[in-house]
Structure 1
């Protein structure tokens, strides 16, 4: 049992808390699921990019899936070996491509013919051969929120099968490109296995067709997206997930790359916020807290559901909206939730907040971002200090 009250008293609120032991368990579950096949678990840094989180996973043997050169730099700083780092993303600037090539990371994951042309041009200028994979869009409905769906042709990600074939043939004939992998990722917070199996089969068949024309790949990157429990979701077991993918790879000698983010850290984290006061508008009850949408954006952005509790309180519940101080009607954590009566300084705990929480935080309304705390073997330590007003204005200049 975590003493959230003690942590809130020690570090203040709003506050993020992460259980590193749980992150370890998640990594080991997924790594074990792929036993018997060469595999790399490349943590999706965008889910939670705190240096201590990334370093902890690196120590376990994880690689890093990065979608900006800043995330590549974080991964290297955190101790992830360069040969376990992947640079993905729809839009890479020339300077990002150049830095990634100079860093000699495992590969760049490409999402368009135009991007491949830029990588080839920059690799030629640098006098290197760029290791690449191509993201294939299998046109599979992932059955998830439309904002985190990535595997349909209407989404901006990846290329269709015929375009991918054309790109692989070009890359294979290029002096400055080396096609080493193939990639797909149909979406995030996936809770159904069949779309994953279908996508894997489509992409595996493409690998076989490439093999027939002597284009031999080394890596089969299945992306991430495994869902977690926010409410009452039925989630996919890691073993079943791995078997669905491996069952499509008969006859192929490939290293499987898996890029979990939310699965690793989502339900290993909590967001703590204190009650300021309550108000009632013509029967509508509001619990006003010191955290806000700038601290945890998911409810406002996706209308995402998180379990919430008033720590240490129960009984006499009535429906309430939990809202913050930001000057927006979209500033809420939960709506119409049964909650006990609250008083000033009561502690509200928002569950499953380890992924896409702090990383999406902002300084809107000139609000400093929260502190982050890690729980490791029963001990707590601050892994990011709370920002101050001076931090917020440090890079600004008065135009006199």
Structure 2
């Protein structure tokens, strides 16, 4: 779930430019880089690096901004946080306290959301491959809505609901065949994508759903992609959704809910961030007069700017003659996968004020994993740094820790949450021993070892 780098627009933003549009971050002469009121060096001193840090204040501020934008239209909208963006219980609890529901795509996410205090009645279940067990779990807890993505899934859900003696509240997720103008791997509303029901089959399938035992069709859902910063794709998709509502109601069927999806983009480099006010206006204009309950599923826009990844320069490696040097960090692609998977761009800021003010140079920023793709940026313009310098990789609160792995036998990094001047560890750093704690060796495996000092 990540976007391609923006087209080259000249030199990378400076430290000052990056800080200017990130109000939770500031640079203090003595304390260095501060998130809310917590010096990030204090966290690195206590826990080491790499370490993830989430800002509770940023989560609240952005949620309230989003909610206010929709209130201003006079249209009530339910906000369901996309748990796939960041599934930590502390993150979910902060958003739940603000009134957020959840959009989940697995049985595990359903259980996580409920464990964080989000009631099943505020949870919608999306995804193209729900299993029978996941369907059963969702029905048994009284989930608000299941977003069905195919005719085949609808038939299976009918069977499961009948066996459970329950009724499944269903929204059909429609694929409008609209280009969101984003990276091919995170667009979800084209006919070539695996997601959703083909637009031209939606009316007939909705009518069929109304005839199925155990199925209660409540409305329609749509999600066209992620990291969207232009409103035209939304407006086009929502206009198509409105046309479906009219066509379905012409059959004498009820449409009570419209789930408008998520995908609102943020500014990683120097893009124009997606504006909640513009999204609210697009939804209100295209769908506001249909007398339905509206819902959205934001993820990245809420959580992305709330998180940073702290890392330390292990060494400065000289490049070939005339080529930039390599800054090798102790964070790697197993921690933050987005740059290596999608060439995604993340701002990088030194934690020390003096380092942040150093003369700029071009460098390659890489990790220590044994893959050429383990890189955070080629030809990046950054202040001069030597081994031991600490940095923060910005805007890592969405699709960061949640996508981490233990590749190269690298333990998962520690996680911290800050709130004003307070901070707390919300997940301890994994130990090396924990990497194999669940491993077992079958008795029939030959366990004869080479004698001490033996070789090939």
Please say whether Structure 1 and Structure 2 have the same fold, judged by a TM-score greater than 0.5.
yes
Tell me what 2:440 maps to. 397
Structure 1 residue 322 corresponds to structure 2 residue 365: yes
Q: Check conservation: 1:192, 1:235, Cα contact below 8 A.
A: no
Given the alignment, which residue of 221, 234, 241 partners 2:272? 234
Change (3 A) 1:385 1:211: same
TM-score normalized with structure 1 length: 0.98
Alignment of 1:161-240 (within 5 A): 161-240=199-278
Superposition pairs of residues 49-68 of structure 1, within 5 angstroms? 49-68=87-106
Distance in 2, matches of 1:250 and 1:230, equals 31
**What displacement does 1:144 show?**
0.5
CA distance in 2, matches of 1:345, 1:232: 28
User: Is residue 2:80 matched to residue 1:37?
Assistant: no
The size of the alignment, in residue pairs, is 400
Name structure 1 gaps, 5 residues minimum. none
2: CA distance, partners of 1:218 / 1:79: 26
- 2:132 match: 94
Question: Is 1:289 aligned to residue 329 of structure 2?
Answer: yes
- Partner Cα distance (1:205, 1:250) in 2: 13
The Cα shift of 1:315 comes to 2.6
Counterpart CA distance in 1 for 2:201 and 2:424 is 49
Paired with 1:176 and 1:385, the residues of 2 have a C-alpha distance of 44
Residue 408 of structure 2 aligns to a residue whose secondary structure is coil
Shift of 1:31: 1.0
Contact 2:75 2:288 in 1 (8 A): no
**Structure-2 change in CA distance of 1:250 and 1:16 (3 Å):** closer
Larger Rg: 2
Deviations 1:197-217 (A, max 9, x none): 110110011011111112112
Aligned to 1:376: 419
Mapping for residues 1-400 of structure 1, pairs under 5 Å: 1=26, 2=34, 3-35=39-71, 36-283=74-321, 284=323, 285-312=325-352, 313=355, 314-400=357-443
Q: Distance in 1 between matches of 2:351 and 2:379?
A: 18
Query: What CA deviation, in whole Å up to 9, does each residue of 1:238-288 have, x standing for no partner?
Result: 112101111112531111111000000101111110011111131331001
Q: Distance in 1 between matches of 2:431 and 2:261?
A: 37
- 1:181 Cα shift? 2.2
CA RMSD in angstroms comes to: 1.1
2:123 and 2:198 mapped to 1: Cα distance?
Answer: 25
CA distance in 1, matches of 2:320, 2:200: 60
Q: What is the rounded CA distance, in whole Å, between the counterparts of 1:325 and 1:251 in structure 2? A: 55
Whole-angstrom distance in 1 between the partners of 2:432 and 2:216: 48
Instruction: Answer whether contact 1:68 1:87 (CA < 8 A) is retained.
Output: yes
Q: Please, which runs of 5 or more residues in structure 2 have no aligned partner?
A: 1-25, 27-33, 444-456
